[in-house]
């Protein structure tokens, strides 16, 4: 008698840490209602509110309804697509209502962009391809702008720029080290300023005029 070795197929995701997979409850969609699938309904709402960054129950169900509409495929909401979108919002980890709304917009725009990419790949009409390409370009640019908006919001509206290379002509001054420039100030490392020479004549004249 011969025996064949059993093949144990493992999903790619199963090879990684599974600790966070069951944290957010699934959503069951019916014709007239949205059901949070969890043994404890209140705990399910709480977990989902934390995942979406919702401040209260009204915000949670409002965000859910918007995500359900954005998940639609062929005018019908899709549970698998919705689960993916909720997972992406959770990975963004919104901390307040603004971040929650922006994260929902981001995953919705991404989903729409992927739909456009699918239509572009399946289209054989040149004119239609050009139209879809324009729509896809607008969506991807919007997504990039949303990422920047989220970054600015998380950094209190300031956009930091780090200067690493600096060239100084004769008679000028230099700051040695990394310099981070914000919208309202320039911050240099302590004791980083060095004189590269005397103060230029124009700068000296402007200082004298200011003192007068």
pLDDT digits 0-9 by tens, 69-119: 999 998 899 999 999 999 999 999 999 999 999 999 999 999 999 999 999
CA angle in degrees (0–180, nearest 5) for 64-70-74: 130
Decide which of 154, 182, 198 is a domain's last residue. 154
Q: Which whole number is the average pLDDT over 36-47? A: 90
148 with 174, same domain: the answer is no
Q: Are 60 and 45 in contact (CB under 8 A)?
A: yes
Residue 153 tokens read as 């919001």
pLDDT of 141 higher than 50: yes
- The structural domain count of the chain equals 2
SS3 content of the chain, % helix, strand, coil (to 5): 50, 10, 35
Task: Specify if 6 maps to a domain.
Answer: no
In angstroms, the CA 10 to CA 16 distance is 11
Q: Which whole number is the average pLDDT over 123-143? A: 96
Phi and psi, residue 199, nearest 5°: -70, 130
Task: Specify if 137 maps to a domain.
Answer: yes
Which residue has better confidence, 27 or 141? Answer: 141
Residue 1 tokens read as 């008698």
In angstroms, the CA 65 to CA 61 distance is 6
pLDDT of 190 higher than 80: no
108 with 138, same domain: the answer is yes
Residue 26's pLDDT is: 87
Q: Provide the domain limits for residue 42.
A: 21-154
99 with 197, same domain: the answer is no
Residue 75's pLDDT is: 87
68 with 136, same domain: the answer is yes
In angstroms, the CA 189 to CA 56 distance is 43
In angstroms, the CA 170 to CA 56 distance is 62
149 with 67, same domain: the answer is yes
Task: Specify if 59 maps to a domain.
Answer: yes
Kindly report the pTM of this predicted structure: 0.64
The dihedral formed by the CA atoms of 22, 24, 28 and 29, expressed in degrees to the nearest 10: -150
DSSP class of residue 15?
Answer: G
Residue 198's pLDDT is: 53
Half-sphere exposure of 117 (CA within 13 A, CB side): 9
Residue 186's pLDDT is: 46
Residue 124's pLDDT is: 92
Q: Which whole number is the average pLDDT over 55-60? A: 94
């Amino acid at each position: 008698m011969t025996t064949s070795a059993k093949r144990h197929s493992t999903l790619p995701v199963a090879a990684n840490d599974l600790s966070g997979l069951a944290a957010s409850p699934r959503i069951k969609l019916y014709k007239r209602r949205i059901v949070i699938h969890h043994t404890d309904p209140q705990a399910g709402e709480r977990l989902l509110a934390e995942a979406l960054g919702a401040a209260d129950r009204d915000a949670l169900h409002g965000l859910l309804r918007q995500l359900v509409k954005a998940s639609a495929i062929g005018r019908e909401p899709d549970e698998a697509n919705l689960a993916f979108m909720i997972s992406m919002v959770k990975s963004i980890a919104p901390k307040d209502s603004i971040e929650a709304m922006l994260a929902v917009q981001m995953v919705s725009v991404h989903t729409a962009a992927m739909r456009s990419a699918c239509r572009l790949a399946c289209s054989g009409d040149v004119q239609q391809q050009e139209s879809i390409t324009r729509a896809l370009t607008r969506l991807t640019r919007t997504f990039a702008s949303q990422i920047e908006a989220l970054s600015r919001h998380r950094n209190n509206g300031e956009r930091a720029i780090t200067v690493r290379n600096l060239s100084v002509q004769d008679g000028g001054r230099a700051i040695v080290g990394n310099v981070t420039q914000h919208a309202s100030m320039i911050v240099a490392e302590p004791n980083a300023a060095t004189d590269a020479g005397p103060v230029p004549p124009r700068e000296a004249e402007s200082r004298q005029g200011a003192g007068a």
